[in-house]
Amino acid sequence: MSIENKVAIVAGGSRDIGRAVAETLARKGARVAFTWCNSETDGADTLKAIQAAGGAAISVRADTTKQRDVDNLLEQTRSEFDDSIDILVNVTGGLVARKPLLEMSEEFFEGVMKLNVTSAFLTAKAVVPRMGKGASIINFSSQAGRDGGGPGAIAYGTSKGALMTFTRGLAKELGPAGIRVNCVCPGMISTAFHDRFTRDEVRANVAGATPLRREGLAREVADLVAYLASPESSFITGASLDINGGLYFS
């Protein structure tokens, strides 16, 4: 897939799926600026892995729910690589905690929406003026955006559903400029996310109910992202693509 020498930003690219995305894009020849927020070690480890494989990357500390951090990310990307940006991948997000409706504060709900939706809005708004024809934006939703999520995931599922709608609207708006916008919706992927939020017996049950009889791998999601970032997917825009081993058909 021809993304060699393209400039890519991966927001939330220092661990799990985000790290796999940053490493995959770099391995395929893109020059990658990826962000980390809470763990400098994760950022350093991802950068080291990319550089050891011969890739070009920079690691930027950024909370992409904050405008000043997004502006700094864009400035560092420009300084290191180029003024134009070809690929934006919005991986930043999270469940934060499992809370049923009656235990959920307004601040908690708004915080989850800010983490998952506002971050994508801010990065897209900053990056789009630097994109040209053939550029690609890939947002991250979730199977939870399709089916509402598991117990205590109302806020998370709502935010991920909003990202699919954001993707569709942005695809219509940017299509005439030749910029494509798509979304990936992972199901049960073997990551630290589920290590933290999903009980082992639940994971085993989900894997057993999945037609492929296993959890997905971060690199499999990254390969889908790389395809959507490449010219090989040039007539796909506004789509929310499921990657869940057949557990849920949308």
User: From CA 156, how far away is CA 93, in angstroms rounded?
Assistant: 9
User: From CA 5, how far away is CA 219, in angstroms rounded?
Assistant: 21
Neighbours of 79 (CB within 10 A): 11
User: From CA 112, how far away is CA 124, in angstroms rounded?
Assistant: 18
Report, in angstroms and rounded to the nearest whole number, the Rg of the chain calculated over CA atoms.
17
Q: Which among 36, 121, 140, 156 is annotated as catalytic?
A: 156
Dig out the tokens for 192 from the structure.
């630290």
Q: Which of 109, 124, 214 is nearest to 166 (CA)?
A: 124
Q: Describe the crossing of helices 40-52 and 16-27 by its angle, rounded to 10 degrees.
A: 30
Catalytic residue check, 156:
yes
What amino acid occupies position 126? A
Q: Which residues belong to the active site? A: 156
